[in-house]
Structure 1
Amino acid sequence: MSRHSFDPDIAALVGLNAAVIFQNITFWIEKNQANRRNLRDGRYWTYNSISAFAELFPYLTEKQIRTALDKLIKSELILKGNFSDDRYDRTCWYALGDCICPNGQIKRTKRENDAFAPEGKPSAPEGKSYKNRYKPNINPYSSRGSAADDEAEKILAAYPEDRIRRKGDCLLAIREILRTGITAADLIEAVLAYASESAGFTRSKVCFSDNWLSSDRWQRYVRDAQIQREAAKAKEAEALKGLAVWITDRSPLCRHISPSQITALLAAELVTPLQIQAAGLG
């Protein structure tokens, strides 16, 4: 059973509902900061839709959630942005405001703030203004057709089609995961493993792609796949050792050893070419 908490000082400032939501936003931002994820414009961000917040806080209506978020933004406890690749995706991103200044958050320099001009003024470089100051000016993943884009698309395509949600956020999360050192092959294997495991689940029991990726549920499947590969390698190594004994003993069973196995035995330096010839396999 989940427990929700809040800071009394924050509650006194913006109300109980907003304080509870603020605590949740802070938790995910600190987690992203620890994992070096979702760093944009010198701040760490988290994202959620109103409907997702409603699932997290079933005792609040969507109207109460919107009001609470508006209070947090107005009080400058949080900042609001939109970093989705999909221009039709209205999922909002949130970062902690300057008045909080968490450990490790990067403060905006005076020079950076000076790069923004009032709306409609041509003096701001590249069309930046106060209205869009917290939106990304340059999309770091805007280059289409790159290897990272292709890999992310292939990985997401392996997810059950009826469970894919917020494609832009999913592709962004996949690229973040790949930058941590996880290979595309590992992640595809993890996606396929979850798809197979949950094939008989009802819609209410499945995990949609955005949540599966952002909540790190993929990690268990990657670990399981790695463990299985290591076990398979160990089993293969033991089998090669057994074949090496056949060869050194010149066993009649050597006739069952395939050319690929001979190549593997030589690569592992378990036998020599002379031993292979002596066993009648040369």
Structure 2
Amino acid sequence: MIEYHFRAELATEYGVDGAIFLHCMAFWTAKNRANGRHFHEGRYWTYNTMKALTELFPFWSRRQIERIVAGLKEAKALLTGNFSEDKTDRTLWYALGDQVLEVYGEGASPISPNGEMDFTEPCTPFPQTVKCNKETVTYQLDNNPCSPLSEKPKKKRAPKSIPTWKPERFEAFWKFYPRHEDRVSAVREWDRLQPDGALIDTIARALKWQVRAEDWPVPYACRYLRNQRWLDEPTPKTGRAAAPPRPQARQLTGWHTEVIDGEEVMVPDG
């Protein structure tokens, strides 16, 4: 009997069926990374025929699997390709998109520290041979507009690059933040957090010393917001003491430009 697992955040984003499929792909790409094989175009891949996938997921039909793959591709959560040595072999190869790799710790091995992706014997997941099996896929997945299936299908929302909550304050934060990667995820976390003026001022004060500390590891902006990294305290290595609490009467209201170490940067008022 095979046990199926998924990450809750992926289920929220791509539906339960999409999260289950991505979790299995993550397991096999991590296994290939550990074995140092199937590395193409800057990432690790796994391959399987549609017949093998229907055997692995007996509760889905072939058409359902094609819809799940098409929806994940449309959301850029899953990549497909063909790296078979035999150019007539149309077996699809699969790799995780950048946003999914980030959920799994940017693709770092292992996928789960608790080993929750182990499959129960005697079943063997993902029948995979040394040479790809030849199978003609009759459906063009790129042209399939279907989104990932779930128990209750939901309309797929397009990723946002501009937040709904205080967009002008987010733009000031994003401009000042030293790592400009994965803006869509940062926008999502900003809208979830919905920081008020006082919290934005707290973030600004923290960033003021953090960006100047040579030993401060700069996380993605989305992780900074999600993990409340403004609560970090200076380490002895920085040589900076934690700033004393400021009177409640003094509230920072915005950002302005200063020249620091010969470079013009945005800093919070105050």
TM range (shorter): 0.3 to 0.5
TM-score, normalised via structure 1 length: 0.35
* Larger RCO (CA under 8 A, 6+ residues apart): 2
- Greater helix proportion: 1
Q: TM-score, normalised by structure 2?
A: 0.36
Structure number with larger C-alpha Rg = 1
